[in-house]
Amino acid sequence: MRAARGFTLIEVLVALTIMAIMAALGWQSIDTMVRTQTLTREQSSSTQRLSAGLEQWVRDLDELQADASLSPGLQYDGLVLRLVRRDGADTASASTGLRVVAWAVRPGAERAEWTRWQSPPVTDSASLRQAWERAGLWARGGNTASAQGDSATAVATAEGWQVFFHRGGSWVNPQSAADAGGVGGGAPTALPDGVRVVLDGLNAPGLSGRLQRDWVQPGLIPSRS
């Protein structure tokens, strides 16, 4: 009987080479799949966070409260937009007070971020004015939180932003003479018919460029029968 023939060294080396190539190709496929899944999750997270932030922006404006002591409770100075809103209740009678809310683009861990700040509910004019002042200090680099219970949430990375008010049938600069009355100074100016926010330099997975969102006072939107 003839002895059984084994594999030669060359055959073994060729087989090992082929297996190594197949393993490398398989690893590249797995690595690409993982990277794709990670990027998809990051894009989804960025989009959802921005969407939630824009919804919050609209809710804040929907709940605007004109306050004579804050002339009139909505102000944009080129850096921060501050407003007074009802505290998250569906009706004024059920509200526990008012909140001061501020929106600004502030430095983040890596990039600047469009961020929302809010005070706790307040029920008297003195506390309301103090919260208004804290919002301005926060926008200029103050602490995110304070002993008074303030808090802030980053919404989206952005290089800058602009705000316009709709008055007299056109979009105008809120820093114009018609809106220049500061807190506690001059006669209160009526709330605008609309507010436009423009975010520039969005830079996150799935987000880039410029975004614009318009808000119109609910009472000016024709009802549907």
Is residue 38 domain-resident?
Answer: no
Is residue 11 domain-resident?
Answer: no
Is residue 111 domain-resident?
Answer: yes
* DSSP annotation string for 41-86: HHHHHHHHHHHHHHHHHHHHHHTB---GGGTTSEEE-SSEEEEEEE
Domain range holding 164? 52-220
Residues whose CB is less than 8 angstroms from the CB of residue 195 and which lie 6 or more positions away in sequence, other chains included = 61, 74, 163, 164, 165, 166, 214, 215
Give per-residue pLDDT as tens, 176-224: 645 544 443 334 457 889 999 999 988 766 667 888 999 998 877 654 4
The predicted model gives 72-97 an average pLDDT of 78
Is residue 122 domain-resident?
Answer: yes
The first and second tokens of residue 223, run together, are 């009802």
Q: Which of 53, 44, 40 is nearest to 154 (CA)?
A: 53
Is residue 89 domain-resident?
Answer: yes
Is residue 131 domain-resident?
Answer: yes
Give per-residue pLDDT as tens, 126-184: 999 999 999 999 998 876 666 678 999 999 888 899 999 998 889 998 886 455 444 43
- pLDDT value, residue 23: 76
Is residue 76 domain-resident?
Answer: yes
- pLDDT value, residue 66: 73
- pLDDT value, residue 165: 94
What is the number of structural domains in the chain?
1
Is residue 25 domain-resident?
Answer: no
* DSSP annotation string for the chain: -PPPP---HHHHHHHHHHHHHHHHHHHHHHHHHHHHHHHHHHHHHHHHHHHHHHHHHHHHHHTB---GGGTTSEEE-SSEEEEEEE-S-SSGGG---EEEEEEEEEE-SSSEEEEEEEPPPB-SHHHHHHHHHHHHHHHTT--SS-TT--EEEEEEE-SEEEEEEEETTEEE-TTSGGG---TTSSSPPPPPSEEEEEEEEEEETTEEEEEEEEEE-GGGSPPP-
